[in-house]
């Protein structure tokens, strides 16, 4: 069964103020990964079956979905965890913020505060990483 994992992170602003935060990650066990992979395989093969009835386009869509099914299923099976979001207090504007993350995001990561648009550096709590180069301002 999938489990939600909360881990402590540190949000650091450009002026080196930092606040604690949490990082939510969904972890999948063996049976979840297999179930998710089979769902995707079934979905893509269903699309391949449905697109048989579309004239001309079926020459591309049917083999495309048929081949994409196992590829996507394999990639899904290899996914052990997915990042959900990070939450905390922005060190610059002191607002409670929630940052949506990409599924494969790794820490440390630079992002921006959704409230004040200040750059934020997300690191694992206690991590004194040397990756402190500021991103280019948008
Ligand atoms: Zn802010």
pLDDT at 138: 47
> For residue range 29-82, what is the model confidence (pLDDT) as tens digits?
999 999 999 999 999 999 999 999 999 999 999 999 999 999 999 999 999 999
> Is 132 inside a domain boundary?
no
pLDDT at 14: 86
pLDDT at 137: 47
* Domain co-membership, 115 together with 85: yes
How many domains, in total, are found in the chain? 2
Residue 76's CB is within 10 A of a number of other CB atoms, namely 18
Higher pLDDT residue, 66 or 103?
Answer: 66
* Domain co-membership, 46 together with 61: yes
For residue 124, report the distance from its CA to the centre of ligand 1, in Å: 19
- Percent over 90 (pLDDT), the chain: 81
* Domain co-membership, 71 together with 91: no
> Is 9 inside a domain boundary?
yes
* Domain co-membership, 67 together with 87: no
For residue 103, report the distance from its CA to the centre of ligand 1, in Å: 23
* Domain co-membership, 22 together with 84: yes
Residue 17's CB is within 10 A of a number of other CB atoms, namely 12
- Radius of gyration (Cα) for the chain, nearest Å? 20
For residue 71, report the distance from its CA to the centre of ligand 1, in Å: 40
Average pLDDT value for the chain: 90
pTM: 0.74
pLDDT at 85: 93
pLDDT at 75: 96
CA distances, 53 to each of 42, 61, 68 (Å): 18, 10, 19
> Is 10 inside a domain boundary?
yes
For residue 117, report the distance from its CA to the centre of ligand 1, in Å: 6
Q: Is the pLDDT of residue 130 over 90?
A: no
> Is 42 inside a domain boundary?
yes
- Domain span at residue 17 reads 3-28+80-124
Q: Which helix (H) or strand (E) holds 64?
A: helix 58-77
């Amino acid at each position: 069964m999938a489990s939600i994992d909360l881990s402590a992170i540190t949000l650091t602003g450009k002026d080196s103020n930092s606040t604690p935060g949490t990082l939510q990650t969904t972890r999948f066990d063996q049976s979840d990964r297999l179930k998710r992979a089979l769902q995707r395989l079934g979905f893509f093969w269903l699309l391949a079956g449905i697109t048989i009835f579309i004239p001309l386009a079926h020459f591309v869509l049917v083999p495309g979905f048929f081949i994409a099914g196992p590829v996507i299923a394999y990639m899904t099976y290899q996914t052990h965890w997915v990042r959900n979001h990070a939450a905390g207090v922005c060190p610059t504007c002191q607002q409670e913020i929630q940052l949506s993350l990409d599924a494969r995001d790794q820490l440390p990561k630079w992002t921006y505060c959704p409230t004040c648009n200040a750059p934020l550096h997300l690191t694992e709590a206690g991590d004194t990483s040397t990756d402190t180069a500021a991103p280019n301002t948008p």
